[in-house]
Amino acid sequence: MSKKRICLLLAAVFFLTAACAALWPSARSVSAAAEGFTVVAGEVTQSENSYGTAFAGTGAFSLRSDRTAWADKFGVILRADAEDSEGLNVILSSEKDVWYTSAAHSVRILLEPIGEGSTAISLFADEALLGEYETVMFNWTADRSYSTNYLCLGKDGDQWIFNINDAVIETGADAALDEVLAGFPDKCGFLQLENLGGPATLTYIGIQYGIPTGETSSPYEGFSVGPVLSSPRWNTVTGEELAAWQSDFGSEYTLTGIRNVPLNGFEMSIRMAHGEGAGGVMLAMTSLYGGSNWYAGTYSLVFRVSWDPSYEEGAAQVQLLIYHPDTESLGEEPIKLSEMVSDFGWFSGCTFEVVRLRGEWIITLNDQPLFRNRTSSEGMDVNDYLNFISPYYENGLGCFQVWEPRGVDGTVQNTGYVLESLSTAESNEAPRMNVTALSWIIGQTYRVGESVSIDLNELFADEDGDALSFFATKGRIENGMWTYLPGAAELLFVTFTVSDGEASVTERIWLTVEESEAASGGCGGLAFGGLWTIALAGIAGGALCLLNKRKEEN
């Protein structure tokens, strides 16, 4: 190839490279979507630092994100190198891919630097100005380690407050904010950021889930810090919520409840937010076997819920872990069953339930069965594992515990949890009378000197399929068969007590024993809890028998 052709080829390559560079953004420029953020307006460069993702611009710029936040417990953690900015908007939009001015609803916090390090705050809902405030707690420079800002807006009981770096400001806009909150689906919104003009660098660190209480120990009755690892950060609760907490940005933590809750009938409703990276949380029901106050060394049922950025939206991995006193010393694998669920209920809320029905243990998540038709490597299913641990729950009760270990990336993510309800009522069907069997029993003829026999397993039934035990005030019971030998004609009363091990019922039955072999069918009835309830056949037959007997005596 001649030198002339080589020069022409190099020139063409240079021209094409320059043309592509002009059309393609540089590696440091935010493209259509970078790290979950989209540039709505302005020119922005992106970089990573030890705190998070930094967005820098010399003039006005707007960023829309896919980051979900709680509208009633909204917060963001950021650093603002923006002393010369005309102001920053921190926004919560009710729609994911819509800039707040076009969304159905929005909440906007306008922060403007003013003299002597102070900040003017304006609060807007759907563009209506709700209030104006001032604080010295917001940091406009990012040259110090403590320049990170924790900016929260949410409900503290029935009152809406700002919490800016632990300084509390009452908004005085409770009714208006309640109204706009009702327009956010599932109480969730999406973070947006805006620099109104002038040079600024905003470093996004994460979403704040919940409003900090400032308490080092649990402010909630029945909950406390666990005996191992660190404590969580406690947040305020609203309405009927029981407790709220989140990890302390990298610290493993434990949480324990001292209130007893049932294994059979356990129900827990909880709002959970996953973090920016892979991680998981353990939710346990422990038997406290042997007086231990933590799951290790007990018989425990544990749900491990984990999330990874590679999962589809709404998905989670849910695993069933079973512990017994020797699990750790034997090096036994506690993870028994695992299932991927597509609609876990991140951010909006989910409900776990455990119930024993007709002798079978059933676990559900959001009313859908978990681990159905799944068998572990040990050849066991949900029913096998719960039958193994349930006898160690005294009176069927245990304690609720939570812990969050470090995730696969070595950190505990900025996740938040709100425990909305925790069942304290057992779900157990008490034994009951079989009316069909009763009608057969009272239709029989009972005579003096002949043994009276009733199969109590036929007369009583248990919807849960539990084994029943029986007691009678007269006669004897063997293998569920009640027998009695009458020595004289009588109106026979006998009271049966039937128990399934958790609940018991008492039923009173009466039978008529006659002397004459020529007498017609026997008579009987029953009373529930002292209130007489007699089968119609028993009423008519009993009355007739009594009249005949009195006529013979006269």
* Residue 153 CB contacts under 8 Å (≥ 6 apart), including other chains: 74, 75, 107, 109, 123, 160, 161, 162, 163, 171
Q: Which helix (H) or strand (E) covers residue 538, if one does?
A: helix 536-553
Strands (E), 226-295: 233-234, 243-246, 253-262, 266-273, 279-286
Q: What is the CA radius of gyration of the chain?
A: 35
Quote the CA–CA distance of 383 and 515 in Å, as a whole number: 53
Quote the CA–CA distance of 97 and 100 in Å, as a whole number: 9
Q: Return per-residue pLDDT of the chain as tens, 554 residues.
A: 444 443 433 344 333 333 333 322 222 223 333 468 999 999 999 999 989 899 999 999 999 999 999 999 999 999 999 999 999 999 999 999 999 999 999 999 999 999 778 999 999 999 999 999 999 999 999 888 889 999 999 999 889 999 999 999 999 999 999 999 999 999 999 999 999 999 999 999 989 899 999 888 899 988 988 888 888 889 999 888 999 998 876 688 888 887 788 999 999 999 999 888 888 899 999 998 655 567 777 899 999 999 988 999 899 999 999 999 899 889 999 999 999 999 999 999 999 999 988 778 999 999 999 999 999 999 999 999 999 999 999 888 888 999 888 766 655 665 789 999 988 655 667 788 888 788 777 767 788 888 899 999 889 988 777 788 999 999 999 999 999 998 888 888 889 999 887 778 888 887 888 886 644 444 444 433 332 233 323 333 333 333 333 333 33
Quote the CA–CA distance of 177 and 72 in Å, as a whole number: 9
Q: What are phi and psi of 362, to 5 degrees?
A: -130, 130
Pick the closest to residue 471 from 482, 484, 457 (CA basis).
Answer: 482
Question: The whole model's pTM is what?
Answer: 0.73
